[in-house]
Amino acid sequence: MAFPERFSGLPEYAFPRLRTLLDAHPPGGPVTHMSIGEPRHAQPDFVGPVIAENVADFGRYPPNDGTPELQSAIAGWVQRRYRVALDPERQILPLNGTREGLFNAAIALCPEQVRGQKPVVLIPNPFYQVYAVAAAAVGAEPVFVPADRETGFLPDFSALPRDVLGRTAIAYLCSPSNPQGAVADRDYWAGLIALAEKHDFQIFADECYSEIYRDAPPPGALEVAHEGQAGPERVVIFHSLSKRSNLPGLRSGFAAGGPESLARMKRLRAYAGAPLPLPLQRVAERAWADEAHVAASRALYQEKYAIADAVFAGLPGYFPPEGGFFLWLPVEDGEAAALKLWRETGIRVLPGAYLAREAGGVNPGKRFIRVALVATADETRAALSRLRACLYD
Ligand SMILES: Cc1ncc(COP(=O)(O)O)c(C=O)c1O
């Protein structure tokens, strides 16, 4: 029997790799998980009651495109957050979390060819891993673009050769970024949108960390596109309740953008998608309409940014994250550092190389570790102090 080759080149996923690296060794102290980006702040208190009120609806098939009430709640949030008015029915698609949306959007929207050639998908390096598997699924050529210190931890797509840009179908961009915590400002987005207009490619803006930031809310791709009067199909944004509302297990997010793109995504989803169960759509509807729980959670992250800044004060190469909940810490070798940290302190972090690809002989994540600030402030302070003592002092 023949099997496909298109996924054969994928490296093992980051977390099994981490288990292989660490689990043959005993931890050197109380086990502290800082490797997985799973929010651990309290979930909003309405989740249980809303599910209970709507439990009978588990007996019904949910609508593929989401309920009108959920579409409206999301449109209301986009309007308040980004001052962009969307048609709730034609421009919004509720998702089972952004991961499936980021994948399926490529299937729905990546053309078979661009100007008669194999399409290119631009991917920041390091990156959230689904972008690469989406490119592989559609038979596109992934082009990994370094997002390291020299480029402000965001990729400089404009520096790519013209022939690459001329074949580009899609550029993924994550802001605030996982893993570095860099925020694309208005100028960055405007530049990227202008580049996309010039070379006629689409931007998939992964903004699932948009509500976790220091002072000012990060600008969104859709609002900048709207202000600059870019074509309506230029940008598709992806948002999630996983990080914003501490509900990673709800599996709820949305995509929004131009009506043609959204119609194509909906058509694919009608055939092959798994819509969110109705009681969970009701929870999502409630969550997008409420900011109090989001502000409370953000305040906890802001406290942890301050803790991290204090613990790593004076550390050469420390990049204070502008958003999101990861630290991207410089080390000689990420795997060696993660192993030493585990064996000497019991803290689990992810080697940066597991989140990046080697391109041009360089893996831009190799000299980093990713540290998730998901525990309580006290646990975070204690763990980061142990980490600094182990790796840097
Ligand atoms: C950058 C980024 N995008 C997307 C996701 C997917 O989130 P979800 O599918 O829970 O919405 C994650 C989750 O860790 C992420 O870090």
Kindly tell me if the per-residue pLDDT of 144 is higher than 90: yes
Q: Which residue's alpha carbon is nearest to atom 16 within ligand 1?
A: 178
Q: Which residue's alpha carbon is nearest to atom 5 within ligand 1?
A: 99
Residue 102, pLDDT score: 98
Q: Tokens 């952004």 appear where?
A: 98
Residue 108, pLDDT score: 98
Which is nearest to 66 in space by CA: 100, 105, 101, 94?
94
Residue 133 Cα to ligand 1 midpoint, Å, equals: 14
Residue 67 Cα to ligand 1 midpoint, Å, equals: 23
Kindly tell me if the per-residue pLDDT of 9 is higher than 90: no
Residue 112, pLDDT score: 98
Strand 326-330 to 368-372 pairing: antiparallel
| pLDDT tens, position by position, 10-44 | 889 999 999 999 999 999 999 999 999 899 999 99
* Nearest atom (ligand 1) to Cα of 102: 4
Residue 271, pLDDT score: 95
Residue 90, pLDDT score: 98
How much is the pTM?
Answer: 0.97
Residue 200 Cα to ligand 1 midpoint, Å, equals: 26
CA distances from 332 to 149, 173, 318, 369 (A): 15, 27, 13, 10
Residue 28 Cα to ligand 1 midpoint, Å, equals: 30
Structure tokens at 249: 């297990």
Percent of the chain topping pLDDT 90 = 97
Residue 39 Cα to ligand 1 midpoint, Å, equals: 11
Residue 239 Cα to ligand 1 midpoint, Å, equals: 9
Structure tokens at 159: 């520096």
User: Of 32-41, 74-83, 164-173, which gets the smallest average pLDDT?
Assistant: 32-41
| Burial profile 272-288: b = 16 or more Cβ within 10 angstroms, e = fewer | ebebbbbbbbbbbbbbb
Mutate to test the pocket of ligand 1, among 95, 208, 243, 246 (most ligand atoms within 8 A of CB): 208
Percent of the chain topping pLDDT 70 = 100
Identify the sign of the CA torsion 365, 368, 374, 375.
Answer: positive
Mutate to test the pocket of ligand 1, among 242, 245, 252 (most ligand atoms within 8 A of CB): 242
* Nearest atom (ligand 1) to Cα of 324: 16
Structure tokens at 291: 């900011």
* Nearest atom (ligand 1) to Cα of 252: 11
Residue 138, pLDDT score: 97
Residue 47, pLDDT score: 98
Mutate to test the pocket of ligand 1, among 99, 206, 288, 355 (most ligand atoms within 8 A of CB): 99
| pLDDT tens, position by position, 289-340 | 999 999 999 999 999 999 999 999 999 999 999 999 999 999 999 999 999 9
Residue 208 Cα to ligand 1 midpoint, Å, equals: 6
Kindly tell me if the per-residue pLDDT of 89 is higher than 90: yes
Burial of 378 (0-12, 13-18, 19+ CB in 10 A): exposed
Mean pLDDT of 63-73: 97
| pLDDT tens, position by position, 220-252 | 999 999 999 989 999 999 999 999 999 999 999
Kindly tell me if the per-residue pLDDT of 393 is higher than 90: no
Arithmetic mean of pLDDT over the chain? 97
Structure tokens at 209: 């960390």
Amino acid at 13: Y
Which is nearest to 126 in space by CA: 375, 386, 358?
358
DSSP character for 44?
P
Mean pLDDT of 145-150: 95
Residue 240 Cα to ligand 1 midpoint, Å, equals: 7
Identify the sign of the CA torsion 181, 352, 195, 95.
Answer: negative
* Nearest atom (ligand 1) to Cα of 178: 1
Q: Which residue's alpha carbon is nearest to atom 14 within ligand 1?
A: 37
Residue 34 Cα to ligand 1 midpoint, Å, equals: 16
Structure tokens at 42: 């309290």
Mean pLDDT of 116-139: 97
Residue 286, pLDDT score: 98
Report the C-alpha gap between 305 and 178 in whole angstroms: 15
| Burial profile 326-336: b = 16 or more Cβ within 10 angstroms, e = fewer | bbbbbbebbbe
Mean pLDDT of 73-83: 98
Q: What is the dihedral of CA 168, 110, 38, 182, to 10 degrees?
A: 20
Kindly tell me if the per-residue pLDDT of 282 is higher than 90: yes
- DSSP bridge pairs for 165: none
Are 94 and 74 in contact by the 8 Å Cβ rule? The answer is yes
* Nearest atom (ligand 1) to Cα of 101: 9
| pLDDT tens, position by position, 327-367 | 999 999 999 999 999 999 999 999 999 999 999 899 999 99
* Nearest atom (ligand 1) to Cα of 96: 9
Residue 238 Cα to ligand 1 midpoint, Å, equals: 9
| pLDDT tens, position by position, 177-202 | 999 999 999 999 999 999 999 999 99
Own/partner contacts of 295-304, CB < 8 Å, gap of 24 or more, are 296/41, 297/39, 297/41, 297/42, 297/212, 297/244, 297/245, 297/246, 298/211, 298/212, 298/213, 300/41, 300/377, 301/212, 301/325, 301/373, 302/214, 303/377, 304/373, 304/377, 304/380
Mutate to test the pocket of ligand 1, among 178, 241, 276 (most ligand atoms within 8 A of CB): 178
| Ligand 1 pocket, Cβ-based, cut-off 6 angstroms | 37, 97-99, 128, 174, 178, 206, 208, 240, 242, 248, 253
Residue 29, pLDDT score: 95
Residue 162 Cα to ligand 1 midpoint, Å, equals: 31
SS3 content of the chain, % helix, strand, coil (to 5): 45, 15, 40
